Structure 1
Amino acid sequence: MLKLIISIALFAAAIVLTVVSVARKSIGGRIHATAAGAAMCLIAAIGLHAFAIVPAGHTGVRVHLGNVSETVLASGLHWKTPVLDKIVNVNNKIQRADVQGETSTKDLQAIGANVSVNYNVSPGAAATLYRDVGGKVADTIIKPAIQEAIKSTFAMFTAEELITRRSEVSQLIQESLSDKLDHYGIKVHEMNILDMTFSEEYNAAIEAKQTAQQNALKAEQDLARIEVEAKQKVVEAQAEADANRIRSESITANILTSEFLNKWDGKLPSVVSDGSQLFQIPIAGN
């Protein structure tokens, strides 16, 4: 900061001296207002290009006559040599890259995937990345790396596993991507699979499989219901048989005699037999 303040002071002094010198060279030593004004405008224009501001969340990369300096600049105001130097701002904030890729699964099913990755460029890597790829970090490095990570990971799973083990697939893609980008000074913060699309043939096969599973489940449920109903009928029949048995066992001779007497009208039979002859017993009143 002290160096910057001294540079500004020296630059201001140079402006004043230049204006005075130009003015004194006018006719008769008299101050020529037009010449002085022109000189001040020229120097001011040059002075405007002697400073650069690196905004927050960025790193400044100094380029001198086309050569990239390895020393990066932090956010703030910085001195530069007019015309000879320029300062390029490299974004170090978390950025998002969206990639749509197509590949094949372990069981050779065609699949498309939309993937979103959050990343940021390390301040220490800003100069090297600018020198190597300019401002096209996402298109030159990140997106191709995402495509490769998707292909290598999806090839490890069947189409069905990509659905049932989606969180595991996402984690493996992020780990693969981090390995590829770390040596560039690019940090991967988060990776999300937004959606996956399968071929029409595979979707039809999945639908048919689900229909078959639903039919099989319905058949199992129907069979279970029939078995329960049959068991209920057996239980009901057994209960009725047990009731009849208990009722039969409870009918004793005394109960039969009691029932007979309750129903008898008090009249004796009029015919008696000894087994060989029948004869009638006269009964009074007859």
Structure 2
Amino acid sequence: MEVIHASKKNSNKPINANKIVAWGAGIFLVVILVFNSFASVEYGHLGLYKTFGKLNDDILSPGIHMKMPFIQTVIQINTQITKVETDTSASSKDLQPVSTHVAVNYSVNKAAIFNLMNNIGGSFDTVIISPAIQEIIKEVTAKYPAEDLITKRDLVAGEVSDLLSKRLARYDLVINDINIVNFKFSDSFNQSIEAKQVAQQQALKAENDLKRIEIEAKQKISQAGAEAESLRLKRLEITPDLINLKQIEIQEKALEKWDGKLPTVTGGAMPFIDFSSLAKK
């Protein structure tokens, strides 16, 4: 009876709570280790391992990669085309103040992202690109008169793009495109440009009016010459026979209207009708 009582006493012994906590902590630690053993690189990016603050030159492509938990991290570098915009104040060749708004599309050299991140870091857009744009815009703007900046915008943008591409190539950055969004000048310069355009339009109108008057005068001269030539030819066509024929036609029309009676009152002369000519006809 004593043995049975002892076994029942042991079966009712409570489970050790410390073991449960230990198992739970172990499972949680394993989960943390597993999750920290992998890192993903997003599409449009490349990755670099960073181990205790030191970069590794192994380039990671988009996808999942293993890493040492709590020791390594993965830095992602955007390799897509990125836009940076900046405003620059400068002076033109004729000392006109010019504010320029520029948009630059750039990307990183994928094969050189280790050098880029190791030497410059992730803030290369503010550290390298924006200051370079500011300096080159001022340099190019100073070469052109203010009016040429407007009329030769494509040429100005091309020169800025060439200089900026050479400058940023030192840092493994690629210029894909550059757009000069706007040139802003002083109000007085804008008014002078407007006045000049109005004067040019008026001069063009006056020139067109003069050309029109000259053309109309030439047309009138030509028309008068044609009429004179026509009259000359008609005069050459008049012969004695033609004159006789016209006289006969007039007399015929007069006979058609005559009622056979001679006028009772005349002015001292009797109308003459050439009957012999009519008889011959």
Which category of TM-score, normalised to the shorter sequence, fits these structures?
Answer: 0.7 to 0.9
Residue aligning to 1:265: 271
Question: Number of matched residues?
Answer: 239
Q: 1:239, CA displacement in angstroms?
A: 4.1
The gaps in structure 1 that reach 5 residues or longer are: 1-28, 268-286
Is the aligned partner of 1:121 residue 2:101? no
The counterpart of 1:168, out of the listed 148, 152, 155, is: 155
Mapped partners of 2:122, 2:247: distance in 1: 117
**TM-score normalized by structure 2?**
0.72
Moved more, 192-201 or 232-241: 232-241
Q: 1:36, CA displacement in angstroms?
A: 1.9
Q: 1:260 to 1:152 in 2, by over 3 A?
A: same
Amino acid at match of 1:202: F
Residue aligning to 1:17: none
Q: 1:45 to 1:241 in 2, by over 3 A?
A: closer
Residue aligning to 1:107: 94
Mapped partners of 1:260, 1:70: distance in 2: 120
Moved more, 34-43 or 254-263: 254-263
The gaps in structure 2 that reach 5 residues or longer are: 1-15, 252-269, 274-281
Residue aligning to 1:145: 132
Q: 1:247 to 1:44 in 2, by over 3 A?
A: closer
Residue aligning to 2:168: 181
**TM-score normalized by structure 1?**
0.71
SS in 2 for 1:100: strand
Q: 1:104, CA displacement in angstroms?
A: 2.0
Mapped partners of 1:69, 1:92: distance in 2: 18
SS in 2 for 1:184: coil
Q: How does 1:18-97 map to 2 (within 5 A)?
A: 32-97=19-84
Residue aligning to 1:199: 186
Q: 1:211, CA displacement in angstroms?
A: 0.8
Mapped partners of 1:213, 1:148: distance in 2: 36
Q: 1:252 to 1:72 in 2, by over 3 A?
A: closer
Amino acid at match of 2:55: V
Q: 1:43, CA displacement in angstroms?
A: 3.5
Mapped partners of 2:80, 2:247: distance in 1: 108
Residue aligning to 1:190: 177
Deviation track 1:17-71 (CA, whole Å, cap 9, x = no partner) reads: xxxxxxxxxxxx9x92321222221343233223211222222222222222333
Amino acid at match of 2:86: V
Is the aligned partner of 1:211 residue 2:198? yes
Q: 1:249, CA displacement in angstroms?
A: 5.7
Moved more, 189-198 or 31-40: 31-40
Amino acid at match of 2:132: A
Q: 1:80, CA displacement in angstroms?
A: 2.6
Mapped partners of 2:178, 2:132: distance in 1: 13
Mapped partners of 2:107, 2:141: distance in 1: 25
Q: 1:258 to 1:102 in 2, by over 3 A?
A: same
Q: Percent identity?
A: 37
Mapped partners of 1:84, 1:228: distance in 2: 90
Residue aligning to 1:98: 85
The counterpart of 1:131, out of the listed 118, 125, 129, is: 118
Residue aligning to 2:254: none
Moved more, 88-97 or 126-135: 126-135
Mapped partners of 1:156, 1:258: distance in 2: 87
Cα RMSD after superposing both structures: 3.0
Mapped partners of 1:123, 1:232: distance in 2: 72
